[in-house]
């Protein structure tokens, strides 16, 4: 079975979530039929329309992880596979997952977890976040003011099509994408790149899912003396790190919000 609870999905063409909705648990306007699953005990299954059934499935399986057949579920051991978020990528046009944020502009609630996973997938999408750039700021056009921010607009457009959040949260949205983009490059380097092999040998070891030209650009950069010196300095700095994030995939903002709600009970 898919993990995760029910997420708020609304039908809206607004660019951002109105601040009037912040803190509301059940918005009264523009709520998609996916939130009607709270009345399952009152409605008969055969009275629902096809659209309602589709939205209800999306609410219960928003994480997009393939469900196991009933018979196989007992026999097979559940394993953590790749994050797919199929129902988020294929969410019906006009429907969006509602994400609230706290006073620090950090996303909170169950929907924040879905958003975080989606942003991680965006960061690994070479068509949106090319690995050819040496610096994230160059990719989004922040470091070169003369460069049009086409990549940044394309990235945010993919997020806005599927998530509805307050305008003040947009700066946060880009930050984790940049972090996961850099981490993705680091993971690729540690697994598929060997500094002791020739450049041609490394070029031919392109991993699955990475565009060939982008992999060659990565290898060319990693082979330079400047990049190798920087890599060694970063390796030493990592060994000196003392504090680590130990709360799993749940952010501190979500944990803090849950604690506040518990104290209010």
Report the alpha-carbon distance of residue 191 to residue 145 in Å, rounded. Answer: 34
Report the alpha-carbon distance of residue 174 to residue 179 in Å, rounded. Answer: 9
Instruction: Specify whether the CB–CB gap between 129 and 123 falls below 8 A.
Output: yes
If you average pLDDT over residues 71-84, what whole number do you get? 56
> Percent of the chain beyond pLDDT 70?
67
Please tell me the predicted confidence (pLDDT) of residue 154. Answer: 94
pLDDT at residue 84 greater than cutoff 60: yes
Q: Which residue has the higher pLDDT, 60 or 239?
A: 239
Please tell me the predicted confidence (pLDDT) of residue 85. Answer: 87
Please tell me the predicted confidence (pLDDT) of residue 110. Answer: 87
Closest CA to 169 of 60, 21, 8: 21
Q: Mention every residue, 6+ apart, whose C-beta is less than 8 A from residue 225.
A: none
Question: What pLDDT, in 10s, does the model give residues 192-237?
Answer: 999 999 999 999 999 999 999 999 999 999 999 898 888 777 777 7
Q: What is the dihedral of CA 7, 125, 250, 258, to 10 degrees?
A: -40
Please tell me the predicted confidence (pLDDT) of residue 42. Answer: 38
In a 10 Å sphere around its CB, with 0-12 CB exposed, 13-18 middle and 19+ buried, how is residue 128 labelled? middle
pLDDT at residue 22 greater than cutoff 50: no
Please tell me the predicted confidence (pLDDT) of residue 221. Answer: 94
pLDDT band at 76 (very low <50, low <70, confident <90, very high): low
pLDDT band at 78 (very low <50, low <70, confident <90, very high): low
Given 3-state DSSP classes, what are the helix, strand and coil percentages for the chain, each rounded to the nearest 5? 50, 5, 45
What's the chain's average pLDDT?
76
Q: Mention every residue, 6+ apart, whose C-beta is less than 8 A from residue 156.
A: 170, 173, 174
Q: Mention every residue, 6+ apart, whose C-beta is less than 8 A from residue 213.
A: 132
If you average pLDDT over residues 79-102, what whole number do you get? 85
Which residue reads 């506040």 in tokens?
260
Q: Label residue 56 left, alpha or beta by phi (over 0 means left) and psi (-120 to 50 means alpha).
A: alpha
Beta strands in 60-194 (DSSP E): 95-98, 100-101, 107-108, 163-164
pLDDT at residue 99 greater than cutoff 70: yes
pLDDT band at 177 (very low <50, low <70, confident <90, very high): very high
pLDDT band at 132 (very low <50, low <70, confident <90, very high): very high
């Amino acid at each position: 079975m898919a993990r995760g609870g029910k997420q708020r999905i609304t039908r809206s063409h607004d660019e951002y979530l109105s601040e009037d909705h912040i803190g509301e648990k059940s918005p009264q306007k523009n709520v998609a039929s996916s939130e009607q699953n709270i009345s399952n005990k009152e409605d008969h299954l055969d009275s629902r329309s096809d659209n309602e059934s589709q939205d209800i499935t999306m609410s219960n399986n928003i994480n997009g992880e393939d469900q196991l057949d009933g018979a196989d579920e007992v026999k097979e051991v559940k394993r953590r596979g790749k994050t797919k978020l199929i129902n988020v990528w294929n969410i019906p046009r006009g429907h969006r997952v509602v994400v609230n944020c706290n006073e620090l502009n950090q996303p909170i609630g169950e929907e924040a977890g879905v958003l975080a996973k989606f942003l991680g997938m965006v960061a690994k999408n070479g068509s949106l976040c090319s690995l050819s750039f040496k610096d994230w700021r160059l990719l989004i056009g922040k470091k070169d003011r003369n460069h049009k921010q086409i990549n940044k607009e394309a990235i945010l457009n993919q997020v806005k099509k599927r998530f509805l959040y307050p305008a003040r949260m947009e700066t946060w949205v880009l930050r984790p994408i940049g972090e996961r983009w850099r981490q993705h490059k680091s993971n690729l380097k540690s697994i598929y790149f060997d500094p002791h092999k020739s450049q041609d040998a490394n070029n031919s070891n392109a991993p699955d899912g990475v565009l060939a030209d982008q992999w060659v650009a990565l290898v060319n950069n990693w082979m330079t003396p400047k990049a190798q010196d920087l890599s060694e300095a970063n390796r030493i700095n990592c060994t000196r790190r003392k504090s680590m994030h130990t709360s799993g995939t749940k952010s501190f903002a979500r944990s803090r919000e849950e604690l506040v709600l518990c104290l209010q009970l």
